[in-house]
Structure 1
Amino acid sequence: MSNKDKTYKIILSGGGTGGHIYPAIAIANELKLRFPNAEFLFVGAEDRMEMEKVPQAGYDIKGLWISGIQRQLTLKNLMFPFKLVSSLWKARKIINSFKPDVVIGTGGFASGPLLQMAASKKVPCLIQEQNSFPGITNKVLAKKVQKICVAYDGLERFFPKEKLIKTGNPVRESLLDIDSKTVEAKDFFNLKHGKLTLLILGGSLGSRRINQLIEKELEFLQMQNVQVVWQCGKLYYQQYKIYNHTKDVQVYEFLNNMDFAYAAADIVISRAGASSVSELCIVGKPVIFIPSPNVAEDHQTKNAMAIVDKNAALIIKEEDLDVDFESKFSKLIASSERQKELGMNIKKLALVNATSQIADEVEKLLKS
């Protein structure tokens, strides 16, 4: 029997945000192409978005009763030890029942207990760290897993050097050739050809601060002759949908056709989650990062600065938005040379074969 025909059993765990979920799905899709007979199971956190997004992608998922530790003393923190014990017990049950040949963690609350139990059962494990500054879950797991796939240099500060493989972050296949889709994409969104298009991305749930900024600056953007595709997020759509189709503005809760959104854009304003940064490198458009300050270890600022330091993007911190946004944006749209320079520089940082390389490492673990 060839390796391709073997019925491998593979568990993937990661979630909480799209940045952990979509890389896991991309890895699963690649492995499914290589091993059509493989069985896949996802493990996530019971009440998070992976419980909806993973079944939509065609995979089974089981949920653990787990959440992160809050920064301040809350009732949720008092519940954490009970949730952890419950999740470890259920993770052990899943491992014993499913009997995986390999377990892959892409970060998020649920991957901690699941990989902890898998490692204790001597199941080969791989983690994929998306950020330039790892979260606590992956730092703890690093000692127990066989391989750690990363997207940035310098991660030996946090992880055993001999386990590190620099692969980049998995991204959607549809983004690899967006330049050929520009005309079709502008038509898809009913945008005016020849008019500068600004794409605003606040993440799947949305960014309160970015939404407040855009609402405040709509008149300014109209004066700059800019048309706007504004993904405001699930939590904010009801509040901001009143601006839909006013002043060349289109408001969306969520963008399902991200390849078209990127293809239509001339400039992008985005959070700096790891998956977004990786996608924007492949897309190769001028970007203004507005990192979220409300994430562990301020890793979005670190992700953004890894790009900004290479003269490949601009950054405006949330506390500087009211002072700096109009001047930085005006300066950028006034210089097509600067736009071109940023687009070319960010594209040089793209790691386009990440999904395939991670699957290669998983395959080595399966064969060993």
Structure 2
Amino acid sequence: MRNPLSKTIEQIKPSGIRKFFDIVSEMPHAISLGVGEPDFDTPWHVRSEGIRSLEKGRTFYTSNSGLIELRQEICKWYQRKYNVLYDYKTEALLTVGGSEGIDVALRAMLDPGDEVIIPEPCYVSYVPCVQLIGAVPVTIELKNENQFRLTSEELLAAITDKTKILILAFPSNPTGAVMTKEDLEPIAKICQEKDIYVISDEIYSELTYGGQKHCSISSLPGMKERTIVINGFSKAYAMTGWRLGYALAPEVIAHQMTKIHQFAIMCAPTTSQYAAIEAIKNGDADIEKMCKSYDQRRRFLLKKFEEIGLPCFEPHGAFYVFPCIKEFGITSDEFATRLLREEELAVVPGTAFGDCGEGFLRISYAYSIEQLKEAMGRLERFIGRLREQKTC
């Protein structure tokens, strides 16, 4: 029989995150610090609006772009936060999670052979989404000594005459790195000089710590017209299962994104959209409460790493830490596999987020302090054994 599969899809590796959690699901005493998902329930007042929409029979399609009221509130929120004004009628699109927004933006903008610059380590879907279009991912290896921030020198070295898009994802999954306004200004200047567009994945924008505040590159002079902002409700409002994201983009791009969304999806979930109106209008206190709890856990992990001698730069965003395990002389995959087998503790090897993640682990702190304390005890025992074996 003829091979029924696309050669392109056959060559794309499955997500490196899921491997460990298929195993964890069969280990009743295992602790998993790998899933990038808030451990909080969606706030009750938000759930209540979703329930109310069902009770009122609001179970029909919305417009392709999404409910007008929700798009209005998103644009108002963005103006309040970043002083950037978007037109809810022509520059805003509701998507099925931020992931769909990334995919649709890339498909709307790229032709085969176009190059997309992707700083790594990064979220697992960027490279495959580019490859599925027939475009070319060009990765930049971000450095631990730079706290995994992109520098202007690194960007310039990666640009060719085929470069069309730069993907920026800060706060970062998996490193927790952030980029300040001062970090972004030289990047913005290069993008304008080289005529490059930016897809700015800001899904963790509300989760920043230590006095750091998120700066969107779209808020810098001359950047709104060449930036596609991707954001959503999953992380900040603990709404992962509601599958609701959004894109803010120049009209000419948003129009084509909506066309793809129209044919592939029709519209984002109606119930989720009604709940999200309540979230964005009245959810600031919920974000503050969750953010405070994440920060407590972040500081606990960093202190614990210092006590056990595990190097880790201080991340100021998202809910991940990215400790270095190079001292042990084994691969990240082997470290994570043995840790799971010997201590029933699941973490994600850094290589799940690009080859340059070798020698690191992603550990999520979207878990209770009690779970984190038990997990760190298991990690400390495992590391102790590795160090003993090295000295033998």
What is the TM-score with the length of structure 1 in the denominator? 0.29
Q: Looking at both structures, which has the greater relative contact order when contacts are Cα pairs under 8 Å and sequence separation is at least 6?
A: 2
